[in-house]
């Protein structure tokens, strides 16, 4: 009598709730509610609050055994925020840092168009989302490869605009909210408020622009290959 081989456990999808909890909600609560001397104090509140997104990013690496570019970038960003806050530097440096990271990503996206490896293929047109080989074969069959390269260029510009929008909103949010001297309870509360508002004020508009780029890319693929989205999407 043969025994059935146990099925391999599928990889768990990243939890949006856990992501929001560790990266936004918990740090916000700690900075806004536990920065007083009767609780953690201003310095320890920053250390504990920023430890959560760092631990979450490291957990993502140990779980996948791969360096997730955006997780790594998030960890670096959090560490820079913590360092600037603990050193009690002028809050303008946090505003500059908040604007610089997405701004540099936008520039890198545009510059990559001049290389054989445009970043839009990392963000949107990759084999984790689309059956790229099937698309390539259909493009060759219909003789629309040159038109598709133009589509990728246009999509790259839209993606870059999403990063630039995030950069501008990051800077405005930091300049408007961070007005108290570092090392004070008020500054920690402002830092927590900035963290809380980063999702609705920054992420949502940027994601709308990014989704527009994805919609444009998918519609163009359909037009150039005569394949439906169901034909080319990777089945999870």
Q: How large is the average pLDDT for residues 26-44?
A: 87
**Secondary structure of residue 118 in the 3-state scheme:** coil
Tokens 């990889």 belong to residue:
11
The residue ranges of every structural domain in the chain are 16-232
Give the pLDDT score at 2. 43
Give the pLDDT score at 129. 77
Share of the chain above pLDDT 70, in %: 89
Give the pLDDT score at 66. 65
- How many angstroms separate the CA atoms of 105 and 115, rounded? 15
Alpha-helical segments (H) within the chain: 16-20, 26-33, 41-64, 69-86, 92-111, 120-123, 132-142, 145-177, 185-197, 204-225, 229-232
pLDDT tens-digit profile of 177-228? Answer: 999 999 899 999 999 999 888 888 888 888 899 899 989 999 999 999 998 8
Share of the chain above pLDDT 90, in %: 39
User: Nearest-CA neighbor of 217 among 133, 147, 165?
Assistant: 147
Lowest-confidence region among 62-66, 80-84, 100-104, 126-130: 62-66
- How many angstroms separate the CA atoms of 177 and 197, rounded? 10
235 vs 111, residue with greater confidence: 111
Query: What is the CA 21 to chain-centroid distance, rounded?
Result: 15
pLDDT tens-digit profile of 217-231? Answer: 999 999 999 988 888
Give the pLDDT score at 11. 46
Q: How high is the mean pLDDT of the chain?
A: 84
Q: Is the whole-model pTM more than 0.85?
A: no
* pLDDT exceeds 60 at position 50: yes
Range among 3-17, 117-131, 143-157 rated most confident: 143-157
Q: How large is the average pLDDT for residues 64-72?
A: 65
Q: Are 74 and 53 in contact (CB under 8 A)?
A: yes
Which class for 156: exposed (0-12), middle (13-18), buried (19 or more C-beta within 10 A)? buried
Q: Are 147 and 224 in contact (CB under 8 A)?
A: yes
Q: How many residues does the chain have?
A: 236
Q: Which residues of 58-72 are buried (b: 16+ CB within 10 A; e: fewer)?
A: eebeeeeeeeeeebe
Give the pLDDT score at 65. 66
CA atoms within 13 A on the CB side of 10: 4
* pLDDT exceeds 60 at position 31: yes
User: Nearest-CA neighbor of 24 among 189, 178, 196, 188?
Assistant: 196
């Amino acid at each position: 009598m043969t025994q059935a081989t146990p099925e391999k456990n599928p990889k768990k999808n990243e939890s949006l709730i856990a992501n929001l909890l560790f990266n936004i909600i918990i740090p916000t609560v700690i900075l806004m509610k536990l920065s007083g001397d009767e609780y953690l104090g201003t310095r320890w509140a920053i250390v504990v609050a920023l430890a959560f997104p760092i631990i979450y990013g490291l957990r993502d690496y140990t779980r996948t055994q791969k360096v997730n570019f955006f997780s790594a970038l998030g960890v670096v960003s959090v560490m820079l925020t913590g360092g600037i806050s603990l050193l009690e530097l002028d809050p303008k440096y946090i505003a500059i840092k908040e604007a610089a990271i997405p701004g540099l990503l936008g520039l890198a996206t545009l510059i990559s168009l001049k290389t054989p490896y445009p970043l839009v293929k990392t963000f949107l047109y990759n084999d984790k989302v689309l059956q790229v080989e099937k698309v390539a074969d259909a493009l060759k069959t219909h003789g629309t490869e040159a038109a598709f390269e133009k589509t990728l260029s246009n999509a790259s510009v839209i993606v870059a605009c999403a990063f630039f929008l995030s950069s501008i909103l990051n800077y405005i949010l930091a300049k408007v909210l961070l007005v108290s001297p570092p090392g004070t309870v008020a500054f920690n509360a402002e830092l927590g408020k900035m963290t809380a508002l980063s999702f609705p004020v920054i992420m949502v508009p940027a994601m709308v622009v990014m989704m527009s780029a994805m919609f444009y890319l998918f519609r163009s693929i359909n037009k150039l290959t005569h394949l439906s989205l169901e034909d080319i999407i990777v089945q999870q």
